[in-house]
Amino acid sequence: MSKKLIRCHTEDPKSIFDCVFNEPIEVKPYSEIALQSASFSLANQFLVVDATNDELTFQVVGGTTRTVRITNDTYTKHNATKMLETLTKSMNKELRITVGKEHGTEIAVLATTDGRVKFDMGYGQQNVISSRAADQPMFFAADTLTIGSRGNNIQITDDGDLEANGDVDGNFIVGTVPFTKGCGNFVFRLTTYITGGQTIKGAMGLVDKDVYDKYKAGGAGITIADFKYVFQIPARGEVDPDYGYALTAGSNLSMELTQGFLSFREYKSDNSEVNIATFAKKPIDEFFDVDLYPVLILNGEKDKIKIKDLKYTPTPFVSSPTLVNTDFDGTHDLTTTLPRPFGNRPTVYQLTFGSVTLRDYLGFSQLIQNPLSSTSLQRSFVANNLFANISSADNYIVEMLNIKLDSYDSFTRDNVGGGRKNILAPIPISEQIIDNQTGLVQYQPNEMLFISLNNEFKFDIRQLRLRIVDTQYAEVNNAGFSSINIVIRDMK
């Protein structure tokens, strides 16, 4: 039995080896081949972000570009998710409710289940609270309230069901889908607003899942202090207890999330508007991992306060499979200054990395996503390569490109079943094999696994082509000089 050692080298950034030999390497019949060792440096294992590469721009409507800057830091596998969270927050804070397509947009920058970075510019169409069957999954309400056809004349059913002045544990309407963390509103129109009766006619605001569950169970024991954000609706001629503001009949009251800030605004029938209150703390900073649900309380006497056109912007990333959203109906009786969503219609989504280093680190191959500014409903951009700092791949693969091997893999991207692959050897991922600071991979198996070449006759090798890929056969970016050592032995 004789053995031959063949060393292969490359500096190709995609880890492709194309090795040419000036003299032939004879391979005898019925020989076997095995990986002896491998050494290569993974690119994009860390990224130093400074003023030269901290910029990213995006748009969800043609001609309106938003710019965000990434916090200057050194990002490795230990804080890679921090970058994705920072990007998510920063991009959402740039969205403006006055831009029709941005109204309803929420952006999530995340890692997919197969370890790639995804920029998802989701769109949540406004959920309408009405008696229509299609709208029923979007909310639940106390049986003491009446909701008219298409959301008209929402009011308390009977004055005998009035709660104590300022109570919020009864006469409720609660949205079943969390409120957006991007850009949108929770809004209604005061159709009947008459002086008299209780000084506090209700409240609107956001609550967390624990309070949501209490409302689902009937609402007992909930107080105004349980709201994360709230505006108490005063009677006509009265002012609310928190901000000292008096509402106007016929106006729209809107709780709005825009540019990261949550505020309560009144849009009057004369087309003027008033900012009642803006919260200094931004919901996406305070409640990044918490879902908040919209709640409306009506305690006013049935002949003194009625509302209509109650709707809210849901997050597009948490929804019921039975949820049916409808585009904004322009025939609704709204003031012209009230921000209106554009609806789920094609637009120009685009994402641009400000530097090659940022692009490569996140696994993308182009600086500009959607470079032709095509108009479509395609609102997600997924990286071409795995995000090295969060990849859950269990091994790298050395694959022969010009020699057939008896090796097989069950993996396929479309899950239709695997088949024959020219796998020379897998390289398991572990802390002992990969240096997390430099990305240097050094691997030598404890025992070489030889694979038969099934060659009935001898042949000569003058060229060897192989590559290193990840567990899904995607490119592995190389940061320098790579070498692979191969052993070929004959069995006679």
Rounded CA-CA distance 47/371 in Å is 25
Report residue 368 as tokens.
């500009």
Residue 441 near residue 388, CB atoms below 8 Å: no
Q: What token pair was written down for 476? A: 């592995």
Q: Kindly tell me if the per-residue pLDDT of 150 is higher than 80.
A: no
What pTM was computed for the model? 0.78
Tell me what pLDDT residue 435 has. 64
Of 414 and 349, more confident:
349
Residue 77: predicted pLDDT: 78
Residue 44's pLDDT band (cuts 50, 70, 90): low
CA 81, 83, 86, 87 dihedral sign is negative
Model confidence band, residue 430 (pLDDT cutoffs 50, 70, 90): low
CA 337 vs CA 187, 251, 430: distances in Å: 13, 11, 58
From the list 470, 486, 467, the residue with the least C-alpha distance to 396 is 470
For CA atoms 402, 403, 404, 405, the dihedral sign is negative
Instruction: Report the distance separating Cα 177 and Cα 352, nearest Å.
Output: 31
| 25, 54 contact by CB (below 8 A) | no
- CA-based nearest residue to 396, from 329, 336, 484, 474: 474
Average pLDDT over residues 344-354: 87
SS3 334: coil
Q: Among residues of the chain, what percentage have pLDDT more than 90?
A: 62
The answer to whether the beta carbons of residues 176 and 292 sit under 8 Å apart is no
**Average pLDDT of the chain, as a whole number:** 88
In 168-249, alpha helices (H): 209-216
Q: Which two tokens stand for residue 339?
A: 């921000």
Going by C-alpha positions, the residue among 367, 458, 463 that lies closest to residue 30 is: 458
Considering only 11-20, 350-359, 438-447, which range has the smallest mean pLDDT? 438-447
Query: Which residue has 């053995």 as its token pair?
Result: 3
Give 42's DSSP letter.
B
pLDDT, tens only, 362-407: 989 999 999 988 888 778 999 988 887 775 556 889 999 999 998 9
| Residue 489 β-bridge partners | 3, 32
**Beta-carbon contacts of residue 217 (< 8 Å; ≥ 6 apart):** none
Rounded Cα distance, 28 and 456, in Å: 9
Q: What pLDDT does residue 324 have?
A: 33
Q: pLDDT per residue over 236-271, tens digit each? A: 999 999 999 999 999 999 999 999 999 999 999 888
Q: Where in the chain is the domain with CATH 2.60.120.920?
A: 127-312
Instruction: Determine contact, residues 396/423, Cβ cutoff 8 Å.
Output: no
So what's the pLDDT on residue 432? 58
Q: Report pLDDT for 49.
A: 92
Q: Say whether pLDDT at 163 is over 50.
A: yes
- Residue 329's pLDDT band (cuts 50, 70, 90): very low
State how far the Cα of 463 lies from the Cα of 402, in Å rounded to an integer. 8
pLDDT in the model for residue 468: 94
- The model's pLDDT over 111-142, given as tens digits with 9 standing for 90+, comes to 988 788 999 999 998 999 988 888 888 999 99
In degrees rounded to 5, what are phi and psi of residue 263?
-145, 160
Q: Which fold has domain 127-312?
A: Jelly Rolls (2.60.120)
CA atoms of 36 and 27, how far apart (whole Å)? 17
* Alpha-carbon gap, residue 295 to 263, rounded angstroms: 15
pLDDT tens-digit series, residues 268-320? 988 899 999 999 888 999 888 899 999 999 998 888 999 999 999 999 987 54
pLDDT at 325 over 60: no
The CA distance from 383 to 69, in Å, is 20
Q: For residues 208-212, give the mean pLDDT.
A: 96
pLDDT of amino acid 434: 64
- Number of residues that this document lists for the chain: 492
pLDDT at residue number 321:
34
- E strands present in 47-150: 47-49, 55-59, 66-69, 73-75, 105-111, 117-123, 127-128, 139-141, 145-146
Task: Give me the pLDDT at residue 437, please.
Answer: 61
Residues of the chain with CATH 2.60.120.1100: 3-45+394-490
Is the CATH number of domain 3-45+394-490 1.10.3720.10? no
